[in-house]
Copies of this chain bind each other. A is one copy, B any other.
Amino acid sequence: MTVTRRNGRDRIPPHPDVREIPLQQVLEALVDPVRRLIVSELYAAGADFSCGTIDLPVSKSTATHHFNVLREAGLIRQYYVGTSRMNSLRRDEIDEAFPGLLQALVGR
């Protein structure tokens, strides 16, 4: 049978542009308190961090799920560094797509 070989690049999942994501989906992503916590921390930190860095009140598999939802909504970008998955907030794109939204939700 065929063996599939993968490198770091292949591990990167799709990153839709938030400007093509309906408001509904963005809101559904941001309504969950755990996900809003992630976004808030990224916003406040002003820097990327790995999934494991922030400590969330949920299990690892649930955390993975939340990061996925945020990525699929176009809100964060993810990339690998070793075994760590780094996350960055796609602030400019969000601000362009939904002006004022991030500020209103995360600026407290």
A residues lining the B interface (CB < 8 Å):
23-24, 27-28, 30-31, 33, 98-101, 103-105
A23 to B36 alpha-carbon distance, docked (Å):
11
Q: Is the interface of A mostly helix, strand, loop or mixed?
A: helix
A28 to B36 alpha-carbon distance, docked (Å):
13
Q: Which residues of B contact A27 (CB under 8 A)?
A: 27, 30-31, 105
User: Which residue of the partner chain, among B28, B31, B33, B99, contacts A104 with CB atoms under 8 Å?
Assistant: B99
A31 to B103 alpha-carbon distance, docked (Å):
17
Q: From A106, which residue of chain B is reached at the shortest CB distance?
A: B23
* A16 vs chain B, min Cβ distance (A): 20
Q: From A27, which residue of chain B is reached at the shortest CB distance?
A: B31
Verify B101–A23 contact, CB threshold 8 A: no
Q: Which residues of B contact A105 (CB under 8 A)?
A: 23, 27, 101
16 more contacts with CB within 8 A, not counting A23-B105, A98-B104, are A24-B33, A27-B27, A27-B30, A27-B31, A27-B105, A28-B31, A31-B31, A99-B104, A100-B100, A100-B101, A100-B103, A100-B104, A101-B101, A101-B104, A101-B105, A104-B104
